[in-house]
A and B are shown apart, each in its own frame.
Chain A
Amino acid sequence: QVQLVQSGAEVKTPGASVKVSCKASGYRITTFGLTWVRQAPGQGLEWMGWISAYNGNTKYAQNLQGRVTMTTDTSTSTAYMELRSLRSADTAVYYCAKGAYYNTESRLDHWGQGTLVTVSS
């Protein structure tokens, strides 16, 4: 069955970077798009961006352009999301989610368990 298993919780200081991993199993990662979504404490869902493991194409949320990089390693079926120049407003649970098909606008039919990133001095 499809599973997305994310890396563990992180605590970072302002200005640092964080890299969250998402290991996919039960399907071929190159066939479907993968989306990253975050959720600040007590808040709603925020789309961060999308990546194709097939060709490395990415689309990022406009408010994160320049600070976020999404990559994949097809040899290990793992996706990564790196966020730089962290600030307290980046404190959130970060989710990876599999698209039901390749495109960016696809519904998200499987989600990782989430990774809590805390930014605090």
Chain B
Amino acid sequence: SYVLTQPPSVSVAPGQTARITCGGYNFGSESVHWYQQKPGQAPVLVVYDNRDRPSGIPERFSGSNSGNTATLTISRVEAGDEAHYYCQVWDSSSDQVVFGGGTELTVL
């Protein structure tokens, strides 16, 4: 199995914009999903199908997919956004779900 490429860490000041990338795969028409995981807690879905948000997730969370790189964007970052973030895609060639290695977001 393989792991999608994410930067290990991203740091941003409160109020600024954080961008977390996910690559190492030709996403093509596949949907990318993003999860937030805080210490000691289960992951929570924050963006699905590249750019849609589940109910209850702030509009500050958005996503995009350019084909080779998917990006999670968090606008107006708050201290409560500190967490690990994981991307997920379905790899049709291997019939497997693949996760990214995870990115730790630090709010300075």
Chain A contacts to B: CB under 8 angstroms? 35, 37, 44-47, 50, 59, 61-63, 95, 97, 100, 104-105, 107-109, 111-114
Contact = CB atoms under 8 A, between A and B. Distances in A.
24 contacts: A37-B99, A44-B3, A44-B100, A44-B101, A45-B43, A45-B99, A46-B1, A47-B98, A50-B97, A61-B1, A62-B1, A63-B1, A100-B48, A104-B90, A104-B95, A105-B31, A105-B97, A107-B31, A107-B33, A108-B45, A108-B88, A109-B45, A111-B42, A114-B42
A24 B99 CA distance: 24
B44 interface: yes
Nearest to A112: B42
Contacts of B9: none
Contacts of B101: 44
Interface of B: 1, 3, 30-31, 33, 35, 37, 42-45, 48-49, 54, 84, 86, 88, 90, 92, 94-102
Closest 9 CB pairs of A and B: A105-B90, A111-B42, A47-B97, A44-B102, A107-B48, A107-B33, A45-B99, A44-B101, A45-B86
A44 B42 contact: no
B97 A35 contact: yes
Nearest to A110: B45
A35 B1 CA distance: 17
Nearest to B47: A107
A118 B35 CA distance: 25
Given A105-B92, A108-B35, A108-B45, 17 more contacts: A35-B97, A37-B43, A44-B3, A44-B101, A45-B86, A45-B88, A45-B102, A46-B1, A47-B1, A61-B1, A63-B1, A105-B30, A107-B49, A107-B88, A109-B48, A113-B42, A114-B42
